[in-house]
Amino acid sequence: MSAAIRENLPGDSPYEGIIGFSRAVRIGNVVHVSGTGPVGEDNANAAAQTRHILKIIEGVLAKAGASLTDIVRTRIYLTRTEDWEQVGRAHGEFFAGIRPAATMVVVQALLNPAWLVEIEAEAILPA
């Protein structure tokens, strides 16, 4: 059995080169999407940041040959508990029919102090 080929998929984050990460990594039929912040929508409200993040994730999944329908898990990091519902509703706009496993946690801070939310995801493409 041959080893799966690793494909690093870069994004547009200014932090990728500094930290040394890829927006996503595809190994075989699995795509791991790094924690994604709302770069470019830093000062928007939590719902708008969430929508922007999910569009960034959708773009990198397309580079991997995947789509949002292939996502099986999301992890959502909030800096303010009171934003959970608007973030959850924005997440639901994208995933109501997909229903991935999801976790939402509140953290003290994110890399950029203006970010209210960050999301990471895992997708599995059909064999």
For residue range 64-104, what is the model confidence (pLDDT) as tens digits? 999 999 999 999 999 999 999 999 999 999 999 999 999 99
Tell me what pLDDT residue 3 has.
65
Q: How many CA atoms, within 13 angstroms, populate the side-chain half-sphere of residue 88?
A: 12
Q: Given a cut of 90, is residue 13 above it in pLDDT?
A: no
- Does this model's pTM top 0.75? My answer is yes
**Residue ranges of domains in the chain, CATH in brackets:** 6-12+21-107+116-124 (3.30.1330.40)
Helix (H) or strand (E) run with residue 46 in it: helix 46-63
CA 82, distance to chain mean position in Å, is 21
Residue identified by tokens 């799966």 is 4
Mean pLDDT across the chain, nearest whole number?
A: 94
